Structure 1
């Protein structure tokens, strides 16, 4: 009898040990889900009123409205240095999962041209959400078409001014492409934001400006501004339907599109990255995003998750470096 009881007790102990081992094996797979414990900072490395500002504010509004996050997402504008000031701030928040930043082509080109401290690979890639187009805008009574503006530029090198948001940004790259492939010599004038570019153009201080569709559509609809050419691969709809691409005008190499994505500080936890990816995925599936932002402002949906986004950024960085090297050699 004692022997039988000993066997039973031993079996029970062995079963308990096996169960305990099983629970220990599963424990590492169980990761606590990340949730905001305070308001998040959504950094915009440019002044209010520009494309990145609208991008971030639209997302923050959608997140708040639909309660996709348990705390508020606050917009914080940190303009300066063509995105370098905002990027430096985000970089300084190492490991902080409550800080994210809008990350667009201009920040990448700024780093390449100005040798700023924070390159794309020093931040945590979260997701790319869309591709934005570029347009050459003028006051509606300045030139009838691009051919007329081009003739004026060739007749007076460095006198026909084109404004853009910052030194070493994608706006400057667009002007560089025009100079390289048209044989003209337009003069690039940097400003802190596209809002300042529009104000300078409306005030007659510059002849033209580089704009994303959402930065000039209201003035076009009002008849104050006209667009002479688009840098995309196909024409846009709406108020831009009559604007030819530069490819249509005979300059097939004058093509550039801007990516619009999200990045975080270095060493952001995988759980936090997953939280932000899912939050932005939900936001981009709303009608407000698709109709009121993408369709209304002429953007193309292009959602990339962290690993895809990381590969995409590396490819874009190399492409921009190659283009900028060609422009510098002019």
Structure 2
């Protein structure tokens, strides 16, 4: 009996040991599974976009319309802490935006780059063939519509359109007009076609800021500028806007500037969009993230008053999907118009 009892006890201990080991194994698997979930959550939080600094690329030098747009957006984002990461402004002027496009096209981490864009940049992409071989840029959000002006020095020879028209018709190509991009050239070409005039468009600069400086310095007679690019100089009495391409009368300080329609040329009408785009191949996540951030920017008083109203713009926020449609439609219109005027 003693031997049998010992054998049964041994079997019992063995079974109990196996039971305990199975329980320990189950507990260990649960711990490992929980650890895996926590690790995955931790990694997901660590990789939450954006997880590092962003570059906001400006296709122009400091002080121009695109620079003002980019810096205003960045200041508002930082003031309201709309994004956790640092945003650095990078000015890449030259080549009618081709330099900035080439800079961004060379990047592989495309979710970490933004660009200001306007109708002129859209046109230049085709004129200069500066789109990425990976595909078109990624529309993120439209922010505003901007008007176009013909501007002269207040102390110069041309206080109004009548004096310009008289001089240029008497001596074609005698007046030099400063331009900063292909849309400026298109506006001038439209003006020439519809008014039967011919200007000298040889004064081509890397940015609108340089155009304004050259005009003030007496290096040319006139310039094509947007309100945001000359509003301070007009208010200060140094420049005079002698004609507007706007579809309707503008607000102060341009309320006395006649539209070309009012001057008897109803077909001389043109506006440009101001927007933000991303590089070719930007992820949908990044596109929607920035579209949402920019909507919040457009809803602030700093944007409505400090940017739109101050710079005599028309606020027009369009989210990523709406802007994608608008971008395609406006691009087609620009290209058709450019071909008609012989720019493309």
Picking from 46, 54, 69, the partner of 2:83 is 69
Determine the C-alpha separation between the residues in 1 that align with 2:46 and 2:268: 48
TM-score by length of 1: 0.86
Determine the C-alpha separation between the residues in 1 that align with 2:166 and 2:135: 42
**2:220 aligned with 1:210:** no
Residue 152 and residue 288 in structure 1: after superposition, are their counterparts in 2 closer, same or farther (change >3 A)?
same
**2:184 aligned with 1:171:** yes
**2:209 aligned with 1:195:** yes
Alignment correspondent of 2:159: 144
Residue 225 and residue 316 in structure 1: after superposition, are their counterparts in 2 closer, same or farther (change >3 A)?
same
Determine the C-alpha separation between the residues in 2 that align with 1:103 and 1:202: 26
Residue 53 and residue 130 in structure 1: after superposition, are their counterparts in 2 closer, same or farther (change >3 A)?
same
Picking from 184, 190, 195, the partner of 1:182 is 195
The Cα of 1:76 is off from its aligned counterpart by 0.4
Residue 111 and residue 265 in structure 1: after superposition, are their counterparts in 2 closer, same or farther (change >3 A)?
closer
Alignment correspondent of 1:268: 282
**2:77 aligned with 1:81:** no
1:1-330 mapped onto 2 (5 Å cutoff): 34-118=48-132, 122-141=136-155, 142-166=157-181, 169-188=182-201, 189-328=203-342
Determine the C-alpha separation between the residues in 2 that align with 1:60 and 1:317: 26
Indicate the SS of the match to 2:291. helix
Determine the C-alpha separation between the residues in 1 that align with 2:163 and 2:226: 22
Q: How many correspondences in the alignment?
A: 298
Indicate the SS of the match to 2:310. helix
Q: How far does the alpha carbon of each residue in 1:195-236 deviate from its partner, in whole angstroms, 9 at most, with x for none?
A: 111111111110011111121111111211111111111121
TM-score by length of 2: 0.82
Moved over 6 A (4+): 30-33
Alignment correspondent of 1:3: none
Q: How far does the alpha carbon of each residue in 1:146-205 deviate from its partner, in whole angstroms, 9 at most, with x for none?
A: 021011111111111110113xx2111111111110000011121111111111111111
Indicate the SS of the match to 1:126. strand
